[in-house]
Amino acid sequence: MQPKKNIQAKYRESSFQQIEKMHPYKMLLVLGIVGIAMIFVFLVIAYTVSISNYLQVSEVRLPKIFTLATIILLGSSFALNLAIKAFHEDNMRQLNFMIFLVLLMGVIFTGCQFLGWLDLKESGIFLVGQSSGTFLYVISGLHLMHLTGGILFLLLALVKTYKVRQDPVKALIMVTNPFDKLRLELLTVYWHFLSALWLFLFFFFLYTF
């Protein structure tokens, strides 16, 4: 029977080996997600400290349109899962449609964010002013900025799948290309992360405002 320390050493060694075998793009995505998460953790903590130090009674009300935006973004994550399924089933038409649907939902979410900011402005809450309102602008805007990157990648994926869906040969090359599969997987992970992040932020602001 092997000593416990040797077993633990082998486990740690296998973990490091898994990290070493990870594709560089996957590693970059993981590091990027960790970095983005740390930024939002810092902002949430700063907001919490700010309102506790100044004993603010927040008069900011979360725009109702943000609720619709949350539902739309969660729906887009579900649609992206269907896109992955279509890719594995070699269904290019379905894949192209689902990517289009996710892209459309992303654009609608963006529009809802702008409508929410207009609602805040009409309520007398501006970017410079009450700190709770400022943090809402900054945090939601920063999230939207990262989401815009995902929208751009979705647009590129939409164009590519549209080009190959009419050609069985090109479609076969795409579904058997490990790099195309990797790109779709990375996009899905990134989009799911942003959806989960927004869901957390939504309930956080809903509770604190």
Q: pLDDT per residue over 168-183, tens digit each? A: 888 888 888 888 899 9
What Rg, from alpha-carbon coordinates, does the chain have? 21
Q: Is the pLDDT at 56 greater than 70, yes or no?
A: no
Q: Residue 57 — pLDDT band, cuts 50, 70, 90?
A: very low
pLDDT at 152: 96
Range 96-110 average pLDDT: 97
Closest CA to 102 of 1, 195, 2: 195
CB 199 within 8 A of CB 80: no
Closest CA to 102 of 157, 154, 156: 154
Range 48-54 average pLDDT: 70
pLDDT at 176: 87
**Cβ count within 10 A of residue 10:** 11
Q: Residue 55 — pLDDT band, cuts 50, 70, 90?
A: very low
- Better-predicted residue by pLDDT, 28 or 170: 28
Q: Lowest-confidence range among 64-78, 81-95, 119-133? A: 119-133
Query: What ranges in 61-130 are assigned the alpha helix state H?
Result: 65-88, 92-122
% of the chain beyond a pLDDT of 90: 56
Residue 124 CB partners (closer than 8 Å, separation 6+): none
DSSP states along 159-199: HHHHHHTT-HHHHHHHHT-HHHHHHHHHHHHHHHHHHHHHH
> 128 in helix, strand or coil?
coil
> 143 in helix, strand or coil?
helix
Mean pLDDT of the chain: 85
Within a 13 Å sphere around the CA of 119, how many CA atoms are in the beta-carbon half? 14
Q: Is the pLDDT at 90 greater than 60, yes or no?
A: yes
Write the DSSP symbol of residue 89: T
Distance CA 205, CA 100 (A): 30
Range 27-48 average pLDDT: 93
Residue 193 CB partners (closer than 8 Å, separation 6+): 33, 36
Q: Is the pLDDT at 38 greater than 90, yes or no?
A: yes
Tokens matching residue 15? 């973990």
pLDDT at 126: 77
Positive or negative torsion for Cα 46, 47, 49, 53: positive
Residue 14 CB partners (closer than 8 Å, separation 6+): none
Q: Could you say which of 3.30.1490.20, 1.10.10.10, 3.90.580.10, 1.20.120.80 is the CATH number of the domain covering 23-208? A: 1.20.120.80
- Better-predicted residue by pLDDT, 124 or 42: 42
Closest CA to 191 of 94, 108, 73, 42: 73
Which amino acid is present at 183?
Answer: R
State pLDDT tens for residues 148-168: 999 999 999 999 999 888 888
Distance CA 46, CA 172 (A): 50
Q: Residue 5 — pLDDT band, cuts 50, 70, 90?
A: low
